[in-house]
Amino acid sequence: MTSIPTRVNLLIRTVIAAGSCLALSSAVVVAALLLIGVPIYAGLQYGVEALSSLPDLSSSGSSLIVESLATALVVAVAIICLAAIELSLRTVRTARERSVPAGALAQGTVELASYVLLLSSLLIVLATLPFFRSALPDPLFGFLVLLGFFYLLMAGYLWAAHEWVRSKDEVNDERTTGGNWLVIGVFIIGYLSVAYWTGFALLVVAALIWLVFGSILVPNHVDKIRDAIERRAAESAEEEPVNPAAVYGLTDEIRSVRTRVKQVTGLRPAIPMTVAGIVTIGASYWAAALVSVETVAIVLAAVSAFAFVSVHVGATIRAEFTGNSAVLRDLEDRFDLEKLTADESTGQVAIGLESAADREAGVDGSLESTVTRLARQADLPTPKIRVLEHSTPVALTVGYRPAVSTLILSRGLIKTLEDDELEAVIAHELSHLVNRDAAVLTALSAPGAVARLARSRYGYNPVIEPLAMLVRIISRWYVALVSRGREYAADDGAVAITGDPASLASALESLDTDLDRRPSTDLREWDTATAFAIVPPTWEEHPFFDRTRRFVARTIFGTHPPTEKRVDRLRTQLY
């Protein structure tokens, strides 16, 4: 039974963590809205001004009609470019989910969008400088400007180049070399447009428009261009070209969208798309005739940014509450959770609680029946069981409700523990479900897991990575704040279920001993699971600042109390 002071302490920790999680998520959403809205607003203003100043248009009629026509045209082009970016994001995400390479065209568009966001973030900083200049003391303002200067020159660009090269060499990275060539081409065009003629920038816009319409009207032509880029990139890098049949490209995603449109409307996809285009151009012309171009730009930027953010945030929230949490997807993204050794249709998993000798001899037991029995004792529905293909001993429970929760046990855990020890560990994880710890930690860990997924899906870029790092650091802190106070309660719950504190104490000691023998590279992959796992990873001593590092890792970001204290506490219950 948890004491009242302990409950109050846990409640205070949870409230602080929940407030931090909400503030962090809100800050990320606001940052995304600004980063998306600013370039759309600036691009629309620049496009209308450039078109209105053309001699053929400026002399063809009244300034109001010319400005309205230019606004309608620029809005239509902006929407097409935004469609190209959204389709490319969907292509890269779908390719990642299918464990196949994404096409070079989609990857290049995603990287182009990330660098546009970087430029827009600089515009936002420049716009806010007058405010900070008047609000902050001169020394502090000068220090911030100097810090920002060094970040942009060193951390921003040099680190970006380092990560870019490293990401190409990772075995499991889905990036194709052709995407890099496309980004280099965009930089060359950007330089030419600034140094020689602004019309060079129209090449990028024209390419994005061709990417959308070409994928719809002549998909085979787009596929040939993609394959040619891949072959050329592979030849220059002296690598084997990507197999076109194994690539999930932009045309594949558009075919999927066309199929869904036809299923929903019952019409040929060209019909609703044509109607939408006519309505957009007409509404833009009408709006520009009634209000200023700046108002149209603000509205389009706000609506587009809100639509982008809403779609992606909505998809994340929907996945979270349908049982496909970000924590689980992160584990699936990095490890193999699918190799169950029995027929999933029957729910029986042939990895069980036989002794170590029996396991070595190949004697199978039933893990499902053991989990079901312990869940009934705890008055819980049986969670889904997933086996983590990893030698590190890991046991964790993820989910917002017991009915849709998932119990994950690694191969290393099953091989390390004896029957009664494994039962005690399972009971400990089920206690997290009883106490709603799994729901709280899953919700609090979601921002950090989404940040990690963002990098693994979209590759490194200088906008997502700094934001993702900040989110992961803050998320780790408040998750640790809550997690540390809940392990003792889960230990007590496990004892209440099994009536055997000695087995849990023995299991904790066995796991701690096994982790001491693990190489550090094996443990670094475990960062997402530490908040849910039953024991923390072992400490790797460092030659410099070891005591400081240990304080930060164990006190500030530590998710578990010391295993020795937990073992001593359990052993006192034997007497």
Predicted pLDDT at 353: 40
User: For residues 60 and 73, what is the distance between their CA atoms, to the nearest angstrom?
Assistant: 16
Predicted pLDDT at 160: 59
Which DSSP symbol is given to 403? G
| DSSP code string of 244-307 | GGG-B-HHHHHHHHHHHHHHHHSS-THHHHHHHHHHHHHHHHHHHHHS-HHHHHHHHHHHHHHH
Active-site hit among 429, 465, 525, 564: 429
User: For residues 11 and 485, what is the distance between their CA atoms, to the nearest angstrom?
Assistant: 10
What's the mean pLDDT when you consider all of the chain?
A: 76
Give strand pairing partners of 487: none
Q: Let me know how long the chain is.
A: 575
Active site residue 354: no
User: For residues 110 and 175, what is the distance between their CA atoms, to the nearest angstrom?
Assistant: 11
User: Which tokens in the block code for residue 518?
Assistant: 């693990």
Give the amino acid at 310: S
* Domain ranges, ordered by start, for the chain: 4-135+176-321, 329-572
User: For residues 40 and 296, what is the distance between their CA atoms, to the nearest angstrom?
Assistant: 11
What totals of helices (H) and strands (E) does the chain contain, helices first?
24, 3
Predicted pLDDT at 172: 45
The answer for residues whose C-beta is within 8 angstroms of residue 245's C-beta and 6 or more apart is none
Predicted pLDDT at 347: 39
Which carries the bigger pLDDT value, residue 347 or residue 556?
A: 556
In 10 A of CB 408, how many CB atoms?
Answer: 26
Which carries the bigger pLDDT value, residue 173 or residue 37?
A: 37
Q: What confidence category does residue 152 fall into, taking pLDDT thresholds of 50, 70 and 90? A: low
Cβ proximity of 106 and 251 under 8 Å: no
**What does the pLDDT average to over 98-127?**
79
Which of 277, 205, 207 lies closest to 47, judged by CA?
205
**What does the pLDDT average to over 257-285?**
80
User: Which pairing describes strands 384-388 and 395-398: parallel, antiparallel, or unpaired?
Assistant: unpaired
How many CA within 13 A on the CB side of residue 192? 12
Q: Left (φ > 0), alpha (ψ -120 to 50) or beta: where does 574 sit? A: alpha
- CA 177 vs. chain centroid, Å, equals 22
Query: To which residue do tokens 């790092």 refer?
Result: 469
Q: Is the pLDDT of residue 345 over 50?
A: no
User: For residues 166 and 159, what is the distance between their CA atoms, to the nearest angstrom?
Assistant: 10
Q: Is the pLDDT of residue 306 over 90?
A: yes
Q: What confidence category does residue 575 fall into, taking pLDDT thresholds of 50, 70 and 90? A: low
The answer for residues whose C-beta is within 8 angstroms of residue 367's C-beta and 6 or more apart is 349, 351, 352, 353, 385, 409, 414
**What does the pLDDT average to over 6-15?**
78
Predicted pLDDT at 384: 86
How many CA within 13 A on the CB side of residue 350? 8
Query: To which residue do tokens 């990028």 refer?
Result: 204
Cβ proximity of 459 and 537 under 8 Å: no
User: For residues 245 and 547, what is the distance between their CA atoms, to the nearest angstrom?
Assistant: 53
Q: What does the CA dihedral 501, 507, 509, 513 come to, rounded to 10 degrees? A: 180
The sheet carrying 395-398 orders its strands as 384-388, 406-410, 395-398
Q: What confidence category does residue 339 fall into, taking pLDDT thresholds of 50, 70 and 90? A: very low
Q: What confidence category does residue 77 fall into, taking pLDDT thresholds of 50, 70 and 90? A: confident
- Long-range contacts for 419-423 (Cβ within 8 Å, ≥24 apart)? 419/353, 419/354, 419/355, 420/498, 420/500, 420/503, 420/506, 421/503, 421/504, 421/506, 421/507, 421/510, 422/353, 422/370, 422/507, 423/353, 423/370, 423/374, 423/498, 423/500, 423/503
User: For residues 361 and 475, what is the distance between their CA atoms, to the nearest angstrom?
Assistant: 44
Predicted pLDDT at 358: 40
User: For residues 530 and 480, what is the distance between their CA atoms, to the nearest angstrom?
Assistant: 9
Q: Give SS3 for 484.
A: coil
| DSSP code string of 536-572 | PPPPPP-SSSHHHHHHIIIIIS--S--HHHHHHHHHH
Predicted pLDDT at 450: 84
Helix 201-217 crosses helix 177-195 at what angle (to 10 degrees)? 140
Q: What is the pLDDT of residues 236-248, one digit of tens each?
A: 767 777 777 788 8
Q: What is the pLDDT of residues 531-551, one digit of tens each?
A: 556 666 655 555 555 666 665
